[in-house]
Each structure stands twice: as C-alpha cells, then as structure tokens.
C-alpha cells in the first residue's frame, strides 16, 4: 500500500503542527459566537476530527456529503448533495472544513447553498489547496498548505476510496492509477 506512494509531501508531524496553529486561530476568531463546524465527507473526516480536538471554544459538529469526483482524478464540476445537515444553521457562524480545494467548484456551490440558509457567517478551512487549478473564486480564511498540481492521497484523502487511512499526505505513483 505504502509502495503506491511516490513521495511523502506532508508528514504526520508537519500536519499536526499546522492543525494546532489553525485550531488556535479559529478558537480566537470565533470566541463568543455560535460556531458550527461542518466537515465535508468523506475526505475531511480525518482532518476535522483532529482539528476540533484542538479547538478550545464551544462548537457543534455536523457533516455534509457532496459528490464532485467519481473514481477519476479529474473534477467533474457536477455537485450533488448526498447527505445534508441535521439541523438549521440560521444565525450560526459556519466553518466549512474541507480536505483539499482544487478547482473550487465544489466549495463555491456549497457556500452559496449554505448562505441561502441564513447563516450569520460562513468561513472556509481547508487542509490543502492547489491554487493553480482554481476555476471558481472562493475566499479561504484558514489554509493548511498550498501544494503543487499533483494527485495526493492520505490523511482522509482517497483515490477510488483507497489510501484514506495513511497518516501522512503523499503523492500517488502514476502506476497506482491504472
């Protein structure tokens, strides 16, 4: 399994340091506000689990599942809600937590959708960003790392539903795509 990884881009330690830094900033920025953290399934699952445990202010947690990629490595641009929030977010301060922003199409759709529900504020936190690939403009307030335009897996991020359990973020070997 690890043999399918060409290069470890972000080690466990490097990710943990960044998670702590982001969580501290989030705890300061949202202090005294009704915060709901929304993890975007399935990719952000590992990141959000680590992140919330370092946030020191009260929060609620919910998840949404949206489809943007099939089993291919190219964004389809088609966004569909597969699992919605359990409750109303009217008046809440929403922090959307994503694993990786590529074209931005998924989050651009999602934030518009959440805005229409009357949230007081919507901010985005992503572990990874591929800025070169952006097609839709989005404001990202909390960002872990900019990465090159390479297909990565691990720390929640998959290729065809595999590799999510790797504790680091790595670049997948081309052979593993076939």
Instruction: Name the residue nearer to Mg ion (CB basis): 29 or 158.
Output: 158
Separation CA 178–CA 176 (nearest Å): 5
Phi/psi region, residue 93 (left: phi>0; alpha: psi -120 to 50; beta: rest), is beta
Selected binder of ligand IMP within 9, 64, 105, 114 (CB under 6 A): 105
Order of strands, edge to edge, in the sheet holding 169-172? Answer: 5-10, 169-172, 152-153
Residues 26-55 vs Mg ion: string with x where CB under 5 A?
Answer: -----------------x------------
Selected binder of ligand IMP within 38, 127, 157, 169 (CB under 6 A): 157
Q: Which stretch binds Mg ion (CB under 5 A): 84-92, 97-105, 126-134, 162-170?
A: 97-105
> Is 102 a known active-site residue?
yes
Please choose, from the candidates 111, 120, 62, 61, the residue with its C-alpha nearest in 3D space to the C-alpha of residue 91.
120
Q: Which stretch binds Mg ion (CB under 5 A): 17-25, 48-56, 93-101, 127-135?
A: 93-101
Please choose, from the candidates 75, 76, 92, 80, the residue with its C-alpha nearest in 3D space to the C-alpha of residue 37.
92
Selected binder of ligand IMP within 52, 103, 141, 173 (CB under 6 A): 103
Residues 38-57 that bind ligand IMP (CB under 6 A): 43
Catalytic residue, candidates 88, 102, 146, 149: 102
Contact 35, 60 (CB under 8 A): yes
């Amino acid at each position: 399994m690890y043999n399918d990884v060409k290069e470890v881009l972000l080690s466990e330690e490097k990710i943990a340091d960044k998670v702590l830094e982001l969580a501290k900033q989030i705890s300061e920025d949202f202090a005294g506000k009704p915060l709901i953290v929304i993890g975007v399934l399935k990719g952000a699952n590992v990141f959000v689990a680590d992140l919330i445990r370092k946030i020191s202010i009260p929060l609620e947690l919910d998840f949404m599942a949206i489809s943007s990629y099939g089993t291919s490595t190219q964004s389809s641009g088609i966004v569909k809600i597969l699992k919605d929030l359990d409750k109303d977010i009217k008046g809440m301060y929403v922090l959307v937590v994503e694993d990786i922003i590529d074209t931005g199409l998924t989050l651009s759709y999602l934030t518009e959708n959440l805005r229409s529900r009357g949230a007081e504020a919507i901010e985005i936190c992503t572990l990874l960003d591929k800025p070169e690939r952006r097609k839709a403009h989005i404001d990202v307030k909390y960002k872990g790392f900019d990465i090159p335009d390479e297909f990565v897996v691990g720390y929640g991020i998959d290729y065809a539903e595999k590799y999510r359990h790797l504790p680091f973020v790595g670049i997948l070997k081309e052979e593993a795509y076939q």
